[in-house]
């Protein structure tokens, strides 16, 4: 069996950011212990199934709130019940605002070798507008601490199109990234989600229009390329060899085991999800079956997010077919040429196409 990924959703936050729609609850010490115990129990159900994993990802929420000891217990349970490959990429997300030295020490001791920091911006006024309580200095301090404990594979999040952001202020955030030199950058656009405080005041937010946002996107990835980062997915760039191997599983339509309230998974051909309920998770609620996964339509929608796109080798290896002629003709048409590149390797989106990826991918998918 091909190694899978393991995703652990940690649903705790000290406070809820006004733009965030990820499932989380207010942190309480008693809930942290119960969550860790239940997660260890669920991991024990994987014992004896012959599962190997080459990526583990603790996402949230704010996984750093678990503390190093609880993360260590969960990692111990993963290693006990799943064969973790020697070269596994093991990631934890953290909030730079927290005092995370002890947490990072515990993470390093348990084998975690990659850190994802929710920087979002390098300007205090923009961080304040986002409801973030850390400072740029906190980010630098967290990076330095992680490196001191041997965790040198570090990713920074950068948000585009946030309140008060301009081309000039984005330039300052990009300069911060160049100077701090993380291995990986996730640069994604603010999306106003329903049932968030930002949704209720969206028309009062001082954010860029579509043209301004497109300019910021182009500026970001052009600057990152000049700084030695290669864009490998719509919202991600890395130094050579530091692509997120875990997230690549999602975009390559590979299998992964998701555990935790609101977590999704794709395992042994089936997709599933947990309810957005910590109470239900702690009570032992089973995940819901979400149908068969890995269809050619899914594969197309996901892999076209990657810079290499839909390749002839990839679709041939997985499904035994060539890219359909109708799809190639569409991608090569004059109308689509600003958004797609079509050659002997396959079909991939231009950077302009990545800005309207949903529309482009939808059009191509209909030609399968």
pLDDT tens digits, residue range 303-325? 999 999 999 999 999 999 999 99
* Whether residue 319 sits in one domain with residue 196: no
* Whether residue 230 sits in one domain with residue 83: yes
Q: Looking at the domain assignment, is residue 291 inside a domain? A: no
Q: Is 344:284 a contact under the CB 8 Å cutoff?
A: no
CA atoms within 13 A on the CB side of 307: 12
Q: Is the pLDDT of residue 257 over 70?
A: yes
Q: Looking at the domain assignment, is residue 190 inside a domain? A: yes
Q: Is the pLDDT of residue 4 over 80?
A: yes
**Domain end marker among 199, 227, 251:** 251
Q: Is the pLDDT of residue 38 over 80?
A: yes
Q: Looking at the domain assignment, is residue 326 inside a domain? A: yes
* Whether residue 223 sits in one domain with residue 332: no
Provide the edge-to-edge strand list for the sheet that holds 236-238: 230-233, 236-238, 184-189, 153-160, 114-120, 83-94, 52-60, 4-10, 256-259, 264-267, 270-273, 288-292
Average pLDDT in the chain: 95
Q: How much is the pLDDT for 264?
A: 98
How many CB atoms neighbour CB 102 within 10 A?
12
User: What's the pLDDT band for 15 if we cut at 50, 70, 90?
Assistant: confident
* Whether residue 325 sits in one domain with residue 244: no
Q: Looking at the domain assignment, is residue 192 inside a domain? A: yes
Q: How much is the pLDDT for 50?
A: 96
* Whether residue 48 sits in one domain with residue 175: yes
249 φ, ψ to 5°? -65, -40
User: What's the pLDDT band for 70 if we cut at 50, 70, 90?
Assistant: very high
pLDDT tens-digit readout, 137-186:
999 999 999 999 999 999 999 999 999 999 999 999 999 999 999 999 99
* Whether residue 337 sits in one domain with residue 239: no
Q: Looking at the domain assignment, is residue 300 inside a domain? A: no
**Domain end marker among 235, 251, 267:** 251
* Whether residue 322 sits in one domain with residue 244: no
Q: Looking at the domain assignment, is residue 297 inside a domain? A: no
* Whether residue 213 sits in one domain with residue 332: no
**Domain end marker among 204, 225, 251:** 251
Q: How much is the pLDDT for 14?
A: 87
Q: How much is the pLDDT for 17?
A: 86
Q: Is the pLDDT of residue 194 over 90?
A: no
User: What's the pLDDT band for 98 if we cut at 50, 70, 90?
Assistant: low
pLDDT tens-digit readout, 318-367:
999 999 999 999 999 999 999 999 999 999 999 999 999 999 999 999 98
* Whether residue 328 sits in one domain with residue 235: no
Q: How many domains does the chain have?
A: 2
Q: Is 10:63 a contact under the CB 8 Å cutoff?
A: yes
Q: Is the pLDDT of residue 187 over 90?
A: yes
* Whether residue 333 sits in one domain with residue 208: no
Q: Looking at the domain assignment, is residue 292 inside a domain? A: no
Q: Is the pLDDT of residue 230 over 90?
A: yes
- In CATH, what number is assigned to the domain containing residue 133? 3.80.30.20
User: What's the pLDDT band for 206 if we cut at 50, 70, 90?
Assistant: confident
* Whether residue 240 sits in one domain with residue 356: no
Which conformational region is residue 132 in: left (phi greater than 0), alpha (psi within -120 to 50 degrees), or beta? beta
Owning domain of residue 353: 312-365
CA atoms within 13 A on the CB side of 105: 4
* Whether residue 174 sits in one domain with residue 46: yes
Q: Looking at the domain assignment, is residue 278 inside a domain? A: no
């Amino acid at each position: 069996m091909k190694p899978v990924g393991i995703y652990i959703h940690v649903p705790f936050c000290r406070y809820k950011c006004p733009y965030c729609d990820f499932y989380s609850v207010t942190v309480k010490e008693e809930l942290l212990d119960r969550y860790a115990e239940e997660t260890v129990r669920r991991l024990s159900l994987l014992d004896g199934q012959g599962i190997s994993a080459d990526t583990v990802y603790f996402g949230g929420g704010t996984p750093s709130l678990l503390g190093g000891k609880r993360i260590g217990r969960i990692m111990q349970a993963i290693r006990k019940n799943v064969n973790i490959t020697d070269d596994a990429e093991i990631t934890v997300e953290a909030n730079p605002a927290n005092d995370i030295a002890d947490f990072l020490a515990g993470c390093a001791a348990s084998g975690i070798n990659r850190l994802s920091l929710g920087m979002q911006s390098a300007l205090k006024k923009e961080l304040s507008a986002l409801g973030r309580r850390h400072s740029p200095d906190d980010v630098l301090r967290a990076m330095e601490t992680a490196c001191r404990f041997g965790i040198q594979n570090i990713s920074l999040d950068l948000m585009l199109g946030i309140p008060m952001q301009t081309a000039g202020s984005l330039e300052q955030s990009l300069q911060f990234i160049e100077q701090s030199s993380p291995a990986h950058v996730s640069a994604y656009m603010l999306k106003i989600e329903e049932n968030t405080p930002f949704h209720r005041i969206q028309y009062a937010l001082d954010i860029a229009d579509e043209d301004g946002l497109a300019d910021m996107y182009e500026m970001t990835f052009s600057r990152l390329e000049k700084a030695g980062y290669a864009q490998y997915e719509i919202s991600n760039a890395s130094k050579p060899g530091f692509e997120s191997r875990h997230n690549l599983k999602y975009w390559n339509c590979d299998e992964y085991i998701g555990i935790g309230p609101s977590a999704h998974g794709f395992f042994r051909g089936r997709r599933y999800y947990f309810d957005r309920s910590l109470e239900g998770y702690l009570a032992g609620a089973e995940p819901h079956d979400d149908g068969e996964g890995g269809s050619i339509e899914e594969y197309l929608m996901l892999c076209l997010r990657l810079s290499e796109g839909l390749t002839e080798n990839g679709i041939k290896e997985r499904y035994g077919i060539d890219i359909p002629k109708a799809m190639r003709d569409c991608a090569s048409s004059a109308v689509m040429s600003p958004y797609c590149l079509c050659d002997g390797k396959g079909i991939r989106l231009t950077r302009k196409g990545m800005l309207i990826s949903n529309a482009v991918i939808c059009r191509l998918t209909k030609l399968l």
